[in-house]
Amino acid sequence: MPKKLRLGILGGGGDSLIGVLHRVASQINDNYEIVGAVFNPDYKANKAFAREIDVPLNRIYEDFDTFIKEEMKLPENERIQVCSVLTPNFLHYPMALKLLENGFHVICEKPMTTTLDEAKKLQKAHKKAGTVFALTHTYTGYPMVRQMREMIKAGVLGKIHKVDAVYYQGWINTIIHDKKKRASVWRLDPKKAGISSCIGDIGVHAFNMVEYTTGLKVKSILSDFNYLYKDNAMDVDGTVLIRMAEHVKGVIRSSQVATGEENGLAIAIYGEKAAFRWEQENPNFLYVLSDTKPTQVYKPGHAYNSKLSLEGTKLPPGHPEGIFDSMANIYKGAAKAIRGRKFNDGEFPTMLDGVRGMNFIEATVASHKGGNVWVQLE
C-alpha cells in the first residue's frame, strides 16, 4: 500500500530557499508527508515556522539530538523513515552520520561533507546502515540531463573525446569588491564555509554533471583559482583542466564573479558520432549535434525520449517543467528506493557522488595551492 513516506526535515526554515525547494519537491509526486522537523536552531522560530506551513507541532523538536532520541522511541511504523538534511554545510556530516547510524534513510544537500575524510567515513557508515542515501545534485533530475546519460550509455555519441562544463554566476560581485563586506561575510570565511567557495558551491555541480552524464570518471585535474583580492582567502573563480579515460580531456569552468550570469550551468560533450549541448536555464532543450546532419533539438515528454527521462516528466511536450520538478524527480527516485521498489540507475545521486565531489573539491584546492599542478583523483 502506497502510504506516504514519513519525512523529517532538518534545517530549511524561515526564508530558506533550499527549504522551499525540498519541501515543494517532496510534495510533487504524492510520496512524502512531512511529519517532523527541526527547521530552525531556535526552537521558537522552529515552531512558528511549522505553524506557518501547517506541519503538526507534536514532532517539531528542540534540536537534532532530541529529534533522534524522540523518534527512536516511536514504534517503527510511526517513526520518521527518511530525513532531509538542509542545514549549513558543516552540519551535513554529523547529522547524516547519526541518522544513518540510527537506521534512517537520508536525503542530503550538497556538498555532502566539508572534507573528503568525512565523506569516506560517511560512506562507511552508509554501507553498514544499508539504508538509502540520496544526495541532491538537483540538476541531475532534469529530464534532458537524464536523456544525455541514457543516450551516451546507448552509444549515440560513440567514444567521447571532449567534455566542457561550466557553472557561472555573478552574485558574489555584490560582496567581493567591497573590502569590508568580503572580510565579514561567512561565505568567504574558510572556517565557516570550508576550503572552497566557488568550486565547493558550484564547480562541484559541473563536475557531477560531467560524471553523471558521461558515466566516465575524472582521473586527474589541474586548477587555477582566482581570489581577485589579496585579502580574500576563498576562490571566487576557478578553471579546472580535466583528464578522464585515455585521450579524453576537458575543462570545468566556474565563477561567482561572472557578472550578470545567474545559474549558468551548462555542458557540452563531444563524441565520435555526435555531441550534446545543454543549459540549465533552458532545461527543456537538448541540442544533439552532428558533423554531417542537422542539429536536433530534443525536448521532454516525447516517445523518442529514454525511459529514465520520461520518468521525470509529468505532462505532455510543451509544458515547461523547472527546477522544482527536477528536485521532485530525485525525491521520486529516492522514494522508490526507500520502498524497496525497482528504480533505474541514475534516478538520484548517491553516496558515491558525494565522495567523488569532495575528492574533486580537495584536489582542485591542492592543485591551485601546489602551483597549478596535476592532482590525481582517487
Applying the rule CB under 8 A, the residues between 184 and 243 that interact with its own copies are 222, 224, 226-229, 237, 239, 241
Determine if 2 is a binding residue for its own copies (CB under 8 A): yes
Nearer to its own copies, 109 or 321 (CB): 321
Q: How far is the CB of 358 from its own copies (least distance, A)?
A: 24
Place of cell 557561472: 168
**What is the H or E stretch that residue 168 is in?**
strand 160-168
User: Residue 238 is which amino acid?
Assistant: G
Among positions 253-272, residues that touch its own copies (CB under 8 A) are 253, 255, 257-264, 268, 270-272
Radius of gyration of the chain (CA): 21
Task: Name the DSSP class of 250.
Answer: E
Among positions 309-368, residues that touch its own copies (CB under 8 A) are 314-325
Site string for its own copies, 142-171 (x = CB under 8 A): ---------------x---xx-x---xxxx
Determine if 293 is a binding residue for its own copies (CB under 8 A): yes
Among 73, 154, 180, 303, binds its own copies (CB under 8 A): 303
Q: How far is the CB of 188 from its own copies (least distance, A)?
A: 15
**Half-sphere exposure (CA, 13 Å, Cβ side) for 207?**
35
Among 216, 289, 310, 366, binds its own copies (CB under 8 A): 289
Nearer to its own copies, 92 or 253 (CB): 253
Determine if 173 is a binding residue for its own copies (CB under 8 A): yes
How many other CB atoms sit within 10 Å of the CB of residue 221?
24
Q: Are 98 and 8 in contact (CB under 8 A)?
A: no
Determine if 4 is a binding residue for its own copies (CB under 8 A): yes
Q: Considering all CA atoms of the chain, what is the largest pairwise distance in Å, rounded to the nearest integer?
A: 65
Kindly determine how many residues on this chain lie close enough to bind its own copies according to the rule CB under 8 A.
92
Among 51, 69, 181, 217, binds its own copies (CB under 8 A): 51
Residue 172 corresponds to which cell in the numbers above? 558574489
| Cα separation values, 369 from 362, 363, 376, Å | 11, 10, 14
How many other CB atoms sit within 10 Å of the CB of residue 232?
17
Among positions 61-100, residues that touch its own copies (CB under 8 A) are none
Determine if 54 is a binding residue for its own copies (CB under 8 A): yes
Q: What are phi and psi of 84, to 5 degrees?
A: -95, 130
